[in-house]
Structure 1
Amino acid sequence: MESSALDFVAQSCMDLTEALNTAGSEADRDILIVNHIKKVSSVVTAVEDFKKDLEWVNVSEPISLSQHCSDKIVVLDFWTYCCINCYHVLPDLAHLEKLHSVENGLVVIGVHCAKFNNEKDSSNILAAVRRYNIHHPVVNDADSSYWEALGIHCWPTLLILGPGNKPLFVLTGEGHREELVSFVGVAIRHFGFRISTAEIPMSPSNYIRPKDCDVLQFPSKVALNPFYRGRGEEPFLAISDTGNHRVILTDCSGIILRIIGGPEPGFKDGKLSEARLNSPQGVCWLSGSVLAVCDTNNHAVRAVHLDDGTVEVLVGTGEQSHTGDLGGKCLGMQALSSPWDVVLYTTPDMDMSIRPQLPPPPPAPSSPPSAP
């Protein structure tokens, strides 16, 4: 399919979004979406199928759009695993897949298009699929041939296909959960009897954790305790065991002293044994007994208090901040977006204020010699 056809769909989607913003009711919104589907599908042609020599994850055989998906609503997610915006789209797709199964007519396919050379390796993609709990099929478009053939321009891009593999909607960037739910839901209802209930050859690559959970799973950050003095049970290292949704504290010989969170994700304060984290990343010692943790998937920074054995929210609300949020709210009310790392910055007087040390002012220009 020529890129101009996809550009037409994208422009039509922008016009649709503008019209939806002024719609008076849900019924009016549905009518606008149906009219958009009729207009676009009468003009565009089917997208081309995947090449036969591509590598796949989460399938028992390669997926063919024409063979397996011609009577489905298909969401093609063009992504790469190093892209934080692509990462933010995954919960929206998981939510959509809970609403509509393959048997109900929806197929989500991740089209992985690498930005860097190491991302072209299918084993690395498989690791990312396991890490992010992706259960839908993922194809490795290593040389970006499919990306270029469809005229995709950026990560992430969501291309929604109707029956006959005709492109109906294009969404770029993150934050489109409401549109995804509306567009897919209306499309499934609109096409009705044309939607197939057949299964597709899926085979999720599940990772089974050991029951004792002694093995690190995708550890991401480690922080040496700068306040360490070698006293008793004083922690020496803090390790983010991201895949197990926990933080591990060890002594200087690597013996585990305490575990915060895990093994399942959650968002809960309280005692160390009861607190829950969700894919923690950056860790930073604020003192010898207080550890700051970037609770990435909970969009928060948590404080671990070792003296009284508790965990609390330091910054964040548990929900991702909206695009354009300028901040400025009190810590517990200020939403964050996937905090990845944290560092302690102190001024020379150690008053813990967050202000950079300004360079000294330039010397004053010397006065010109006075006339005799």
Structure 2
Amino acid sequence: MKVALLGDYRADRLVAPLSAAGAEVVVLGDAGRYRNATHLLDRLDGVDVLLPTVFAPGEEQALPVYAQVGNHWRAKGHEALTHPEGFAALVTDKVEFHLVARQRGWPVPRGVVCRDRIELVQAVADLGFPVVVKQARSESGSGRRVVRDATALRDLPPRFPVLVQRFITGQEHGVELITAATGTVAWPVASLDALDHDCAPWKRARVMPADLPPGATAVLEAFVGDVVETWKPVGPWQIDFAVSDGDLLVIELNGRLGGLANLGWACTGDDPYAVLGRVALGAAPDRPRAGRVALELPLRTGSVLTPAPDGMTVKPFVPTTTRGPSVFTDAYRVVVAVPADRGAAAAAWLRTLDGLLVDHGAAVDQLDRGLRALPRDRR
């Protein structure tokens, strides 16, 4: 069997399990540059299975093209782990997602779609400062800005249409999922810590697992169920949401795996990319279970970690792609896996670290959040 990876992001974590299962793997690292399905189809001679692997900054807008390619490929009797065109449109257009969310009653922050500057000014007047302005086809790391006052609004040069949303406070969370023919599995919910005015989650300590307040889990499950039933995603997807004053609000829906996959791997032992590779070959995914706390720490470039206590593992993660530097050039991140019985030692170690881009106390608080959320049989 021949598998074509559309893109090369985290390809190392896909090629290994695919090859181990006996598949021949070809990596089309430049696939995300194509904006025409026909041109990409011309490169797939002899391929049996298509599997996209999307680099968040710069390739998310390729998902609608991949959807078209996948439709053509399945019509020829082959397999493709590509989302349907409707879902691909939903996850690559912030305006479309907001309009659909309002229509279906999904819980999203209060917002207004604006087609010109006059509508933008009126929307900000109605919502009040601060607001978040998102270009319709913005991607991770670009195309969105927090606007705090009239001066910032005057200097804003958006490409319309845009979505203007009330800036919400509270705790940000995320969850990654894979939908296959046999159903949908989700990794544990992660806490991305408190929402900040820079919208910079990569400069916070993130932890998995994390508990949600009463009622929020049911809201999340209802949202996931509606998305799966109505939009029928195929393969990986991700939900970014907040809990604000006890209410769950969906911030974004993405059609890919992201940085949470590193936490998911350390927390459950099941690498989402490896699972995705097995699903592409027809395997049914098992439900991942939290076995340890996974804590992601942002560190200043050039800083060196002191050795971790026994029983803990520390793994650095950098984007593995052949295209350009990451947008996060001022920092690198490590994921620390902490067994339940090493919580006290981990907290003491965290307080000694130099180069952390978060407050030491905030990192310890996130560790404690993860320890509390571990299943009782894993504590």
Quick check: TM above 0.5? no
Which has the greater radius of gyration? Answer: 1
| Structure with the higher fraction of residues in helix conformation | 2
TM-score, structure 2 normalization: 0.24
Return the structure number with greater relative CO, CA threshold 8 A, min gap 6: 2
TM-score, structure 1 normalization: 0.24
